[in-house]
Structure 1
Amino acid sequence: MAIRKSTMQEQVAEAIAAIEPNDRPVVTFHTVTGPNPWLMSQLGLIGQLFVKYYFVTLTERVVVVHRAARMSNRPQELLHVIPLEQARGLISQVDRGAVWSSMRLHLPGDEKPTRLNVGRYWRAELDQFVPALTGVTIAG
Structure 2
Amino acid sequence: MAVRKDATIKQVEQTVLEMDPTDPPLTVFGVFLDDSPWLSCLGGGLDADTYFVTATARSVHFHQVKTRGIGQRPGDLVYSFDRDETARRMGTVRRRLLWSSFPFALPGHDEPTRMNVRLAWRKEFARFTADLDKAAARR
Same fold per superposition (TM over 0.5):
yes
Q: Secondary structure at the match of 1:93?
A: coil
Structure 2 match to 1:69: 66
Identity %: 33
Aligned residues: 133
Matches within 5 A, 1:1-140: 1-42=1-42, 44=44, 47-49=45-47, 51-71=48-68, 72-135=71-134
Unaligned runs of 5+ in 1: none
Cα 1:8–1:86 shift into 2, 3 Å: same
C-alpha separation in 1, matches of 2:22 and 2:93 = 30
SS, match of residue 48 in structure 1: coil
Distance 2:25 2:49 in 1: 22
Give SS of 2:29's match.
Answer: strand
Task: Kindly indicate whether the alpha-carbon contact (under 8 Å) linking 1:8 and 1:73 is maintained by their aligned counterparts in 2.
Answer: yes
Q: Which runs of 5+ in 2 are unaligned?
A: none
**Per-residue deviation at 1:70?**
3.0
CA contact (8 A) 1:53 1:70 kept: no
Listed one character per residue, the Cα deviations across residues 11-35 of structure 1 (whole Å, up to 9, x for unaligned) are 1111111111111111110111111
Aligned residue identity for 1:127: A
Give the CA deviation at 1:5: 1.6
Alpha-carbon distance between aligned partners in 2 of 1:42 and 1:29, rounded to the nearest angstrom:
21
1:54-103: CA deviation from partner (whole Å, max 9, x where unpaired): 00111010000000113331000001110112111011131111111111
Q: Are the structure 2 counterparts of residues 40 and 4 from structure 1 closer, same or farther at C-alpha, using a change threshold of 3 Å? A: closer
SS at match of 2:111: coil
TM-score normalised by structure 2 residue count: 0.86
Shift of 1:43: 7.0
Q: Equivalent residue of 1:69, what SS?
A: strand
